[in-house]
A and B are shown apart, each in its own frame.
Chain A
């Protein structure tokens, strides 16, 4: 049984209470993104702000205006760590600083990390952020409010959401719920639960009135991105032994050939 969150873009009103709650709970509110605070902030032509995730902004609402099926849509979608079922960051981290917990969240441990940033490169959703301006930098990303979950509380963003656009629950149950919602109003939803299959499934699930591609979600296969790397890493031990044995064998053969030709030449000399 793993926890998950279902986000319904048809319910989100773009209030960004989740962004504020996230910053407050995780004590990221000292870096409110204003130019007075020296933090990157710019008018994007909508209410969308800050412009991107960062080490101090672990979630944000993306605003998208588009026409779909002859209708105008203004869609709000929440962006944060997807807490994958087969996380690339966890497989990538050389020191095991990132772990996939049994409950579902993917969590990060400062005490192991040394700042290589492979997790950031590997993440198919482009989520983990780095404290670039800090001489003692760490990786930062959504924690799923693991410490709140442990106390039986909802993540702070879910708790704050005024319209139930965010719902915490058991993953399979939420998928069931999402299916029912699509079936009940097929004209209001595209028939796609984003995160059910993507990269082997994620703990954050999305419903939307328009195709996810239009909202800036990456189009991903159902195969986890870690498969090829896993296969390659599985070959390490056999390759190690195989190459060592082959090299030893070749050395023995070449040495023997040298010896034989030497013996022959010395024999010839003695015969003379």
Chain B
């Protein structure tokens, strides 16, 4: 009982944030985007696109990297973290969709993208990937729900044989995982392609024809870091304990991917002869260095030290650096280093923050409910029963 007390405080704070976000949302649909945001013709995309879309999608990368590692590369060791990773990816994508429903001028016409295709638009690719991959993630996660329902003792639910749909999903699991990897590859990179339309407004330190590749590589790097971050936190809150071996294994992969990211970034700048900008383009070079040092250089060094990889704290805080670096990078490319029309300024309105924070609170509440009522960590027994 003692454990529950701090938790009810946490959930009530989350609930207040969710309600505040909902209230702002209602106000937005009655009065228009101008009433709740500082967005303008000079800065048409703001906090929601940078944080909810650009960071949200990248931070959901744990889902496809872990699913791919476990089901395609058969790295069974990481099986215990697949389900939490897929759950957070699914929630991440749901949040992206909810944020887009707030950000779009007329979200009730969102189905237009299904009938009016402009296959040359990177945003069309983004839209298609968001929709299809969210469905794939829901299916990938559905076994947990079926297992939960199977165990439940509710009147009608109990009488349905949940093993039937569960078996169907199991049968198509590998194609689902492959579809997830393909869609994520396209989706992560397409967020970079979106910026290719702005060669004149995105600062030369970031603009590059290989932006789609940089986006994909950095997302793959942040995937394991995000899984470390989430599972460490959920361990703390829910008391499950993951083996250090799993965490340090994940930590070992990250420096290679970050190293590739750094190399690509440097070589690209050298190839186009703009490497000098990292010293001369003040103040933008500070943003660039900040992102590189926090998100790539420090984590590569720290994760390469065996003692740090063996320490839960070390692994956790280094993952936090990777995540912060990625958020820094996505804010740089989609807001800070992206030019505005002359004569405009932008800082997010408090109601813009309220929406974004409210959505994150939504996700945390759902995570909390899922951990309480669904088999997220321990689910091997069920698989064995079936077999």
Contact = CB atoms under 8 A, between A and B. Distances in A.
Partners in one complex: yes
Interface of A: 51-54, 88, 91-97, 112-118, 120-122, 124, 126, 128-138, 216, 218, 220, 225-226, 228-233, 235-236, 239-240, 243-244, 247-248, 250-251, 254-255, 257-258
B321 interface: no
Contacts of A250: 72-73
Contacts of B236: none
A182 B110 CA distance: 50
B232 interface: no
A95 B126 CA distance: 12
Contact of A229 (B107, B197, B341): B197
A50 to B, nearest CB: 12
A240 B187 CA distance: 11
A137 B105 CA distance: 6
Nearest to B183: A240
Contacts of A220: 200
B30 A135 contact: yes
Contact of A236 (B68, B125, B196): B125
A225 B199 contact: yes
A137 B32 contact: yes
Nearest to B45: A121
Give the interface size bracket for B toward A: 35 or more
Contact of A130 (B31, B41, B193): B41
B118 A229 contact: no
Contacts of B68: 247
Contacts of B125: 233, 236
What are the 9 closest A-B residue pairs judged by CB atoms, nearest first? A115-B105, A132-B34, A94-B124, A126-B341, A114-B109, A229-B196, A117-B44, A120-B44, A254-B74
Given A132-B32, A135-B29, A243-B185, A94 B44 contact: no
B30 A88 contact: no
A244 B61 CA distance: 17
B337 interface: no
B208 to A, nearest CB: 9
Interface in B176-231: 177-179, 181-182, 185-186, 189-190, 192-194, 196-201, 209, 212
A135 B41 CA distance: 16
B314 interface: no
Interface in B35-77: 35, 39-42, 44-45, 68, 71-74
B117 interface: yes
Point out which of B29, B31, B104, B116 has the most chain A C-beta atoms below 10 A from its C-beta: B116
A113 B109 contact: yes
Contact of B197 (A97, A137, A226, A236): A226
Nearest to A122: B197
B273 interface: no
A133 B200 contact: no
B233 interface: no
Contacts of A122: 197-198
Contacts of B5: none
A53 B41 contact: yes
B372 interface: no
Contact of A115 (B35, B106, B124, B182): B106
Point out which of B30, B109, B174 has the most chain A C-beta atoms below 10 A from its C-beta: B109
A94 B72 contact: no
Interface of B: 29-35, 39-42, 44-45, 68, 71-74, 103-107, 109-110, 112-113, 116-127, 174, 177-179, 181-182, 185-186, 189-190, 192-194, 196-201, 209, 212, 338, 341-343
Contacts of A94: 113, 118, 121, 123-124, 126-127
Contact of A133 (B35, B127, B197, B342): B35
Contact of A225 (B34, B72, B120, B198): B198
A218 B109 CA distance: 34
A225 B194 CA distance: 12
Contacts of A255: 74
Contacts of A243: 181-182, 185
B32 A114 contact: no
Contact of B116 (A53, A88, A95): A95
B212 A114 contact: no
Contacts of A51: 343
A229 B193 contact: yes
A228 B196 contact: yes
Contacts of B194: 118, 229
A118 B33 contact: no
Given A96-B118, A137-B32, 18 more contacts: A53-B41, A92-B122, A93-B121, A94-B123, A94-B124, A115-B107, A116-B103, A121-B197, A126-B41, A126-B341, A132-B41, A135-B30, A137-B106, A225-B199, A232-B190, A233-B122, A240-B182, A244-B182
Contacts of B41: 52-54, 120, 126, 128-130, 132
